[in-house]
Amino acid sequence: MHADPINLLGLDAPALTQLVGQWGGKPFRARQLQRWVHQRGVSQFDEMTDLAREFRAQLGQHCVVQAPTVLTQQRSTDGTRKWLFDVGQGNAIESVFIPEDDRGTLCISSQAGCNVGCRFCSTGHQGFNRNLTTAEIIGQLWFAKNVLMQDAGSARLEAAGNVQVGNAPAGHALASPDPRAISNVVMMGMGEPLLNYEPVLAAVRLMLDDNAYGLSRRRVTVSTSGVVPMMDRLSQDCPVALAVSLHAPNDALRDQLVPLNKKYPLVELLAACERYLEFAPRDFITFEYVMLDGVNDTDQHARELIQIARRVRCKLNLIPFNPFPGSGLLRSPANRIRAFSQQLMDAGIVTTVRKTRGDDIDAACGQLAGEVKDRTRLREKLTMKTSIPIKEIRP
């Protein structure tokens, strides 16, 4: 084995074609290889039976197919599943699968920690260590897909009366998976995706590739706290569905909740949203808005949100806050969330309240923390800030 093998999970179609071409292989060989790795979930080259023996030997000498190692996996009472992945040097990231009647959504991470430091986010309170590689990002999808395929195959065997259900062969997923097991991927896990742009872009392109995961642009969502220049780049490079972590309807409050707002204030963020819509696969931006008791949930805040929604075609996704130690924040009461939502809907704004899923295993929105060796002192700074109560601020 080469001292530093190439992880094929990190190569999009052009990079894989280039690699195979260096060995004299035709582009169709790269497509075959891509299907074996991503569609069939095979990691052992000798199982890729329609590839030439010599080509398989080259792959075995120079390459690997390796997802991050799973440290723990948990299953919620509502069916939500969470995996903790080891990404080295004491860092671990989390991914969450949320099954629903009509879809299966996988929420994946893009960084070990996050340096944006939003007040209401558990990941931000962990600090930041490093960006993830494309292989580490796509590896979360590769692993989750294989696990769900194996589960589906096991369930079919059990239903057929075959009680002796063994594990799938090493590196090989069971055949005939439920194609809807993972129908949607959202980059809403740990980290700010647009601050890790190139690896995220390569991962998104693999998600869309018909020889890999074959997802539509409408079913891949990148969530951002508002990195305006990278929003513009994404609109040109690979426009997928976009979710913007808004969380406050004015600059004074958003400066406190989402510190990135000081660099890219609302006037710039909303203009970037309007530009993105010209290329987006959907005709709206999703604005995420965490509901914080006495902080951003008043009637006045709702009126300000309505003004934003009338400027930018959007859907508002209200998220009941999921408390975590040290946040110093509380979830808005259910009746306040209902009244806030109704005020928006009465104004003709498409509004949903996100159903809390997986909170019994800390897999709900804003709760992903993993394990991060903070090298930014961000955790320390946030700890100092949380001793200062947030006051309701109006423009």
Positions marked catalytic? 94, 365
DSSP β-ladder status, 81-86 and 92-99: antiparallel
Beta bridge partners of 104: 99
Round to whole Å and give the CA distance between 325 and 233. Answer: 36
CB burial readout 55-92, b (16+ within 10 A) else e: bbebbeebbbbbbbeeeeebebeeebbbbbbbbeeebb
Give the side-chain half-sphere CA count within 13 A for 334: 2
Collapsing DSSP to helix, strand or coil, 277 comes out as helix
Among residues 301, 238, 226, 306, which one has the least CA distance to residue 271?
226
Q: Using alpha carbons only, what angle is made at residue 181 by residues 162 and 94, rounded to the nearest 5 degrees?
A: 110
Exposure string of 297-335, with b = 16+ CB inside 10 Å and e = fewer, is bbeebbebbbebbeebebbbbbbbbbbbeebebebbeee
CA distance 215 to 15: 20
Phi, psi angles (nearest 5°) of residue 93: -120, 165
